[in-house]
Structure 1
Amino acid sequence: MKVILLQDVKNYGKKDQVVEVSDGYAKNYLIPKKLAILATKNDVSHLGVRLKKEQQIMDAKKNVVEQLKNQIESLILNFSLKVKSGKPFGSVSLSQICDRLKKEFSIDLDKRKFEKHDNLVEIGLHYLKIKLDFKIIATLKVQVEGIE
């Protein structure tokens, strides 16, 4: 008997798959526990349409994340630290970076999306990796300058 799984079923398949199971298993376990429904032609066609729509939505979201990645990689954020005797005093925190991105560029990021959670304490150009959705990684350039 062919059924459409409504949830993941161990040893049989994942949600939204059409699988062949024994009649007794389907009638006595899967269908009463609402783990599956019978795979009629109508249900299978509805499943195909729904999966296609979900894929289109996921593709649209992935495009938005790609655009965000391109926007982040085109930026260079500038920060200043006081320098005394050749050593910088203070640091640039991820919270400051996130605040600047939000205020100046309307990019709302969580500081936990950055790969390394260390504050920037050295003068120079820093490349920070940001983990976005869909396993997309963007690289943000942060220039830290010293002022006396």
Structure 2
Amino acid sequence: MKVILQQDVKKLGQKGDIVEVSEGYGRNFLLPRKAAILATAENLNVANAKKGSKERKDAMAADEAKLMAKQLEKVEVTIPVQIGEGGKLFGSVTGKDVAAALKKQGIDIDKRKIAIKGEVTGEGLYEAVIKVHPSVTSTIKVEVTAK
């Protein structure tokens, strides 16, 4: 039995995939739970149209992400922190701090998408990787200075 998945199903496929399943699994599990619909000619045409539309949207999003990544590479952020004797840092510099500094510059990026390369041990210039899109990343410079 061929079905079109309406939602992600573990070990079977993603939403919109056309898969072959056994009669019992399709009729007793997938169809009653609205996790799939039968793959009739009409449903296949609708699914293919949706798939094409989704691919175009994904391509546009990836292009926009590449442009944003190029613009972000030019950005440099300065983060003032407290430094004790011997040049040691009080606390740490995290993605949250970088996101807050970017927000002051008018760039809104989620803190979970920011990762600092290496360990921030004191004053200096560091790099932070920003995941703009699942396939596109950008690197910005982060300068840590004493307050």
Q: What's the TM-score once normalised by structure 1's chain length?
A: 0.68
Are the counterparts in 2 of residues 2 and 38 from structure 1 also a CA contact under 8 Å? yes
Question: 1:63 — aligned with what?
Answer: 63
Determine the C-alpha separation between the residues in 2 that align with 1:86 and 1:27. Answer: 70
RMSD: 3.8
Question: 1:136 — aligned with what?
Answer: 136
Runs of 5+ consecutive residues of structure 1 not aligned to the other structure: none
Determine the C-alpha separation between the residues in 1 that align with 2:64 and 2:133. Answer: 10
The percentage of counterpart residues that share the same residue type is 32
Higher-Rg member (1/2): 1
Are the counterparts in 1 of residues 4 and 37 from structure 2 also a CA contact under 8 Å? yes
Cα drift, residue 69 of structure 1: 1.6
Question: 2:38 — aligned with what?
Answer: 38
Q: What's the TM-score once normalised by structure 2's chain length?
A: 0.68
Question: 2:75 — aligned with what?
Answer: 75
1:83-102 per-residue CA deviation (whole Å, 9 max, x = no partner) reads 99984887884455333322
Number of aligned positions between the proteins = 146
Are the counterparts in 2 of residues 93 and 118 from structure 1 also a CA contact under 8 Å? no
Stretch moving more, 1-10 or 123-132: 1-10
Cα drift, residue 77 of structure 1: 2.8
Aligned partner of 1:16: which letter? G
Question: 1:112 — aligned with what?
Answer: 112
Aligned partner of 1:136: which letter? V
Note closer, same or farther for the CA distance 1:2–1:119 as it changes in structure 2 (3 Å cut). closer
